[in-house]
Amino acid sequence: AQSVTQPDIHITVSEGASLELRCNYSYGATPYLFWYVQSPGQGLQLLLKYFSGDTLVQGIKGFEAEFKRSQSSFNLRKPSVHWSDAAEYFCAVGSYNQGGKLIFGQGTELSVKP
Amino acid sequence: GAVVSQHPSWVICKSGTSVKIECRSLDFQATTMFWYRQFPKQSLMLMATSNEGSKATYEQGVEKDKFLINHASLTLSTLTVTSAHPEDSSFYICSARGRLAGGISSYNEQFFGPGTRLTVL
């Protein structure tokens, strides 16, 4: 069955520290992947996306992610976290034979310590 | 470009009443719209997929008679929660994909609305 796993439910990092949020997927077909951020009571904001090509993807707000097919992973990274990055982060995966449907991971809540 | 709006942003209703939520694509033609439900501290769960002019396709476990979806035009889809009960209280998010400006197709990317908070008393 197709699935997306974000192993970390909650992560706390200090402001200025680096960040890595994990995302692993299980898909039968070639996937395309997204990372979204959601602040409380708000909708989703797209951080970055991967369809094909260069496996290191740059996004907004200084985020990047690397698609590793051999590890079925699409981890999100940021070299220096800002207090405003505190939010919920969702990884989502789709495939070209699924009619555009996305499967979302459970989410990782990021807290930032001053 | 690719902006999706939802109305209302929040609604409170009494148990047993029906509530309609609108999802609009403001600057592109939404050939497909998706409806999600998100409970507190949980992820987004796809409820249904609707293609313009066709009946919606519901995910397993979602009652199609309770959650009525209409996608009558390329810019508007509506979700009606019929006979709402407190357990229907949730955050409802729509998304859309379709033909962007310049004829570009966003087949694989969905554009999300800001969500509607439904509280059923």
Buried b (16+ CB within 10 A) or exposed e, A28-63: eeebbbbbbbbeeeebbebbbbbeeeeeebebeeeb
Could A41 and B43 be called an inter-chain contact, meaning their C-beta atoms sit closer than 8 Å? Answer: no
B108 touches chain A (CB under 8 A): yes
* Option in B45, B91, B108 nearest A32 (CB): B108
pLDDT in tens, B36-72: 999 988 999 999 999 888 889 999 999 999 999 999 8
Winning range, highest mean pLDDT, from A38-42, B19-23, B55-59 = B19-23
Residues of B in contact with A105 (CB under 8 A): 43
What pLDDT sits at residue A99? 76
Give me the torsion for CA of A5, A79, B113, A25, rounded to 10°.
Answer: -20
Residues of B in contact with A103 (CB under 8 A): 46
What pLDDT sits at residue A28? 75
* Option in B32, B49, B108 nearest A94 (CB): B108
Residues of B in contact with A51 (CB under 8 A): 108
Mutate to test the interface with B, among A104, A108, A111 (most CBs of B within 10 A): A104
